[in-house]
Amino acid sequence: MRVIFGIFPLLAIPIIIYNVIAFTSGGATDANGVSVIAMQLANPETGTPVFGAWRITGGDILMILSMIFFFVEIIKSTSTGSSTIANHAVSMIVFIVCLVEFLLLPAFQTSVFFILTFMCLLDVLAGVVVTIVSARRDFSVGDSHN
């Protein structure tokens, strides 16, 4: 079970949630060509009142959830092992899928999904950089000839 947790990129969860919302809305657009999903995720009138006039929307909740998962992904990338490398590979696949959806499907051409896609890119980049730096540090600790 721990291996699956180590390999599975948590940022895939908000992507899956967005996909479910996008594909159940049917990719419909209004008269101005704006995606219905963009209106559903960003409309403060459909949001939940939090404090005073502040209302939190579905897109806001999805972003908060994504930031939490992104934080956990950064923490996971500090570990070394074969599951970490597999996690980077699967994270790259998630990013490529997000990029293709963003470029080709109108329901995915929203600010919320762009930010999710950008977070997936940062996850891949940060994971690789942190792994390289930690591996270099581990290698230099073992090298006592300097």
pLDDT in tens, 22-40: 888 766 666 666 667 767 7
Host domain of residue 48: 2-142
Distance (Å, whole) CA 94 – CA 96: 6
Look-up of token digits 């994971």: 127
Distance (Å, whole) CA 35 – CA 32: 9
Cα distance from N-terminal residue to C-terminal residue, the chain: 41
Q: Are 116 and 30 in contact (CB under 8 A)?
A: no
Q: In the predicted model, what is the mean pLDDT of the chain?
A: 81
Output DSSP code: residue 1: -
Q: How many domains does the chain have?
A: 1
Residue 59 pLDDT > 60:
yes
Q: What is the pTM of this model?
A: 0.80
Position 44, amino acid:
P
Rg (CA), the chain: 19
Mean pLDDT across 82-101: 90
